[in-house]
Amino acid sequence: MLKNRKSRRLGALSPEKDKIDSGDCRDAGRRAFLREAGAFRHFQTAAIKGDAEAVHQLRIAITRLRAAALFFSPFINDQAWPFLDMEFGWINSVLGKARDCDVMIELSQRKHYRHWASSSFSGFERARDKAYRKLGRKLNTARYRRLIAKLEAEARGGVLFRGHDNNATPSAEKFSRQRLRQWRSTILKQGSRLKSLRQKRLHHLRICCKQYRYMIAILQRLSVPLSPDDLSFAQTARQAQRQLGGLRDLRRLRKAADDHPPGYRKRKRRLIQHAADLFLKHSS
């Protein structure tokens, strides 16, 4: 996905790693959830004020949270998580509309599309202003504040993470390696037939790549040891996500302007080919 170059860079969260007991997967999950809760608070005020980078970071925090929930799902109470997931879906839909408007404006300002999109630019700006006003109202509600407070409470010791016999619980390192291996296998299987995938499947593959690389970052922050294969594939996933994200943005630009951008089909083929080559290279 694209980033708004005019956005100011916000102060990052503390880079200090969250050290965990490598034998406790539940503790790893709790700490991962708690850190994302901190991100929701950290970027809230700036996002309300209309900062594009803050909106982008909130979107990332939700994706990371959902990736962690999926990754640690064997240790999560499947009766407690759906409510949180639904509530984050509510705020994510509004964040997504604001973010998509930022992406459309940035794309339309590129030299290759500037003249073609000139008649649509004012419409893009109006849509962005409307999306940001709505987002500001949603982020300033009691519902949002209750959601973040509940996430923090659950991460610190609620019922979200199920109890397990410690003797039967694998170490965080062992569990993570097995889980990441499963995720790689799923991604590579889809990536091997990427050119035959329809739009919905391509979108799902892009999300899987994003979740994989975000989980690598989360596990590194938690000081969970990772194998060279884990780290190597994170780069493949990152690059493939970028290509598939570019394809999604291109399609959204076409839809928003109700016309094909210059070189649309050629650019589309190139993005798909680059993504397919990445998966093929990693499989060989």
DSSP class per residue in 181-217: HHHHHHHHHHHTTGGG--HHHHHHHHHHHHHHHHHHH
Q: Nearest-CA neighbor of 66 among 186, 183, 215?
A: 215
First to last CA, the chain: 27
pLDDT of residue 4: 42
Tell me the CB-side half-sphere exposure of residue 67, using CA atoms within 13 A: 26
Please give the chain's pLDDT, 284 residues, in tens. Answer: 444 433 333 433 433 444 444 457 888 888 999 989 999 999 999 999 999 999 999 999 999 999 999 999 988 988 889 999 999 999 999 999 999 999 999 988 888 888 888 888 888 999 999 999 999 999 999 999 999 999 999 888 878 887 554 545 678 898 999 999 999 999 999 999 999 999 999 999 999 999 999 999 999 999 999 999 999 999 999 999 999 999 999 998 888 888 888 888 999 999 999 999 999 988 76
Class of domain 22-166: mainly alpha
DSSP label at residue 259: S
Q: φ, ψ for residue 7 (rounded to 5)?
A: -70, 140
pLDDT of residue 207: 96
Integer-rounded Cα Rg, in Å, for the chain is 20
- For residues 148 and 41, the answer to whether their CB atoms sit within 8 Å is yes
**If 0-12 CB within 10 Å is exposed, 13-18 middle and 19+ buried, where does residue 44 land?**
middle
